[in-house]
């Protein structure tokens, strides 16, 4: 399995194991939030977005990549703003607990939430979009 796939699997598993706010649905498969049952909230959708790569050493074929993921969080009910803020905090704390995504610091260098967007939706739905960047090292031909 590629390190890219290992990273996203770790993100999914990490967010599935949030205990404070216990997301009910954490997936990489797109879904229609309008069709979710009220019992399926909070829900989280994780997607790979973009990746930047640089060459670290030409002779050894060592490269560095920074891959961006979007983490879309959905809440439902009353106190939407509070629920969105609570979900942001829970996601941030969970991802910060292991910034190397279960790998050695020579493979995954860092994980950072680089932006948070609140999506304007009609109540009772609330949505947030976090952009998470993961910097990692790989040998050309092995990702």
Q: What whole-number distance in Å separates Cα of residue 138 and Cα of residue 21?
A: 34
Q: What whole-number distance in Å separates Cα of residue 75 and Cα of residue 117?
A: 14
Asked whether residue 116 carries a pLDDT value surpassing 60, the answer given is: yes
Q: What whole-number distance in Å separates Cα of residue 51 and Cα of residue 67?
A: 4
pLDDT at residue 58, as a whole number: 64
pLDDT at residue 1, as a whole number: 67
- Which tens digit of pLDDT belongs to each residue from 62-111? 889 999 999 999 999 999 999 999 999 999 999 999 999 988 878 999 99
Integer-rounded Cα Rg, in Å, for the chain is 16
- Which tens digit of pLDDT belongs to each residue from 122-132? 999 999 999 99
> What domains appear along the chain, each with residue ranges and CATH number?
3-139 (3.30.2000.10)
């Amino acid at each position: 399995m590629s390190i890219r796939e290992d990273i996203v699997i770790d993100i999914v598993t990490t967010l599935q194991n949030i205990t404070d706010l216990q997301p009910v649905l954490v997936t990489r498969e797109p879904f229609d939030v309008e069709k979710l049952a009220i019992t399926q909230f909070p829900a989280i959708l994780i997607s790979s977005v973009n990746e930047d790569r640089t060459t670290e050493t030409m002779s050894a074929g060592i490269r560095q990549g920074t891959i961006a993921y979007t983490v879309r969080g959905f809440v439902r009910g009353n106190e939407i703003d509070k629920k969105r803020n609570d979900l942001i905090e829970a996601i941030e704390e969970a991802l910060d607990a292991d910034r190397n995504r279960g790998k050695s610091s020579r493979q995954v260098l860092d994980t950072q939430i680089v932006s948070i967007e609140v999506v304007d939706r009609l109540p009772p739905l609330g949505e947030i979009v976090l952009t998470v960047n993961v910097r990692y090292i790989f040998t050309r031909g092995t990702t």
